[in-house]
Structure 1
Amino acid sequence: MEGVSICLFLMLFIFIFLNKINAAELDIISDSQFLTEADTLVSETRIFELGFFRPDNTENRYLGIWYKQDTSRTVVWVANRNHPLPGVSPLVFKIVDPGILGIFNNNTMIWSSNATMTSPNATAKLLDTGNLVLIDQQRKMTWQSFDYPTDTLLYHMKLGKDYSRGIEWGLSSWKSGQDPAPGEFTLRTDLDGYPDDKLKQGALVKFRGDPWRNLLVTGSSKFDKNLTLIYSAVITEKEKSFKFYVENTSLISRLTLTSSGELQNWVWVEDSKNWKLSLEYPIDMCDTYNVCGAYGTCQVDWMQQTCTCLDKQKFVPRNQKNWSGGCVRRTLLDCKNGSDGFIKYSNLKLPDTQGTWLNMSMNLEECKAKCLQNCTCMAFALPDDTLGGKGCVLWFNDLLDMRQ
């Protein structure tokens, strides 16, 4: 009996040892330490986790990042979304010379980080922001997953473009709940003029966000009594970018573009251990892009959408029954004789900024003078009142997509 007990003990010990090898939680990937299908890479305070996963009802395998405490495994980033891996052949995620991350299927690389800067002896870590980074020996970042978003925007991720590196940040929906390949909906920054973000279905604009602003919003919500949201915009020759984050880092939130074309903000509720929808765009009919046409404004009263002309004395609807034609002038604009001037509008969503002229050093009076010099200038505005009265946007085309 004693010999049998020793044998059982040794077998149990070997089983536990092998199971530990085959299901490890790593904190780093290096030249000598790689990730297999059973392993995961975990951020320092265990907020995020990276590993291989299979979407529901499919055998395709992907490498992705999700929230570790979320047992439903809500994926926020996918590496090989264009290269699903069917079958049962073993997968490995590792670093290869000269410092590139790669997914290997039977020793064949099917996805790589494609880093422009490479370095031997590089290491990869998953940060508590959800950013997978590749770092060289001098602790310099050579690649990051935040530069290649999929369908989800996390805190400190950016929308826009880095002109110096030629990298553009935007979201693209999953094709379906079971297929993370890029779907038909995208959220990207319109960089032709003062930047704003447009949600498109193919080439068709479905929804336009407000023009960018630096903004600090302090208040309370049902998720956090002391909520401070921080919106940060950068507009320079080298970069145009926009990001958001919260002052209270314990509040976990994500912005996701769904496969059906909704932009949803979800907040993690720790007490119930699940996600709650806090906001969804489009909100109402007035969020439909350019629903009232040129020089038309949209307003929702008692759940009913109404369109009106921006200035009822100067404009008239092109078609009372179909507002897609917008509004037209009653009389031609008299710019040269100076009989026409400007009217100030408040609490109005700025018109579509595509094709606008931008100068971030002008003040409002200089902006007005600049607009008066050109009879094709339709409007001017200070885009961001947090910039100390600086910044000028001029519109030269029809004014589109306004709402109260």
Structure 2
Amino acid sequence: KAALTMESSDKDDGRYLCSLQVFLGDVRVWSSGHYTKMYASNKCIIELAKDGDLRLKSSNKHVGWRSGTSGQGVERLEIQSTGNLVLLDAMNLIKWQSFNFPTDVMLSGQRLDVATQLTSFPKDSNLFYSFEVLRDKIALFLNLNKLKYSYWEYKPGGKNKTVNFVRLGPKGLDLFDDNSQRIGRIEQTLIRFLAVGNKTGNLGLYSYKPEKGKFEATFQAVSNTCDLPVACKPYGICTFSKSCSCIKVVSNGDCNSKNSDEEGFSMKRLCDHVMVELEGVDTVLRNGTQVRNVSKEGCEELCKKDCECRAASYSVSDEGCCIMYGVVMGVKEIKRVSGLSYMVKIPKGVRLRGEKSNVRKWVVGLVGGIDAFVVLLLLSGFGFY
């Protein structure tokens, strides 16, 4: 079903968010306002103009969204059984379709070509998640300003397999090459849609559970809570017990506070700082700036001299690989591995508690039982009503 909706604005200014939306049951699977918000004071008007352009307007005739189909002979609006919202001409040819403008959900029968993506925006945050179709893989990314790090990927098996597009079908998510031959599949049956969660950034394949009266994820790309980039807040460490510990480098020493979010997501340059190594931890983030054939000390110096670097991981076994990051996120406790190091940048003169010991003493215990509960809730609550 499709609906014209008006929702209260978070800005509390008396205006409403106006959008055209598509629903599968009670789940919103497409919205005209996913990227650009339209605000209206008292009326939200949908109009299929004589020139074939579908428009959303406010009472003062301001056009907040349009299909861009003027002059293409559009005669009617229709929603297909797949959930695809289409504009058709007199010959029933599709002139515009919502499937070509994906949001955070992919419906059964929908196709995503290379270089297209799904995006999911957490509320009150300047980061967002994306599911992207690349030539060699499909992947999930954490995006923050100009920074972009992957945290999950799936590559088709075999050598020289090149992805051209993906399609969600009755047996799961299929990957196809340039000849439209299937080269990979994430297999799940009776799938109705795929979605990127705006709280966790996890990717789920959803089917309907009649006995529960709701859609549930039968597959999740990231099955371990600590492998999610926001299992804990910035400068937090997801421990073996799935709880969050805190690296005391934020100004108030509490990575569970609002200030820690601001500092963790801040893009201010860190120049006059030093590096401290945390043993027994690593980050789930990938695609940082890589430099090979360097020593651990060389990696440390590279990050110190780069004012935009906040952390670095180093591996002796991987050709002396140094990977630098602009955020301290996705950090988790791991079994100690010789030759693997994770270093964070801290202000000069700051001393971490138990600095000469391992991560359990460098980190301030549990942030709290509530925080641990929230981490688990984010994963277990991955369902749509």
Larger Rg belongs to: 1
TM-score using structure 2 length = 0.49
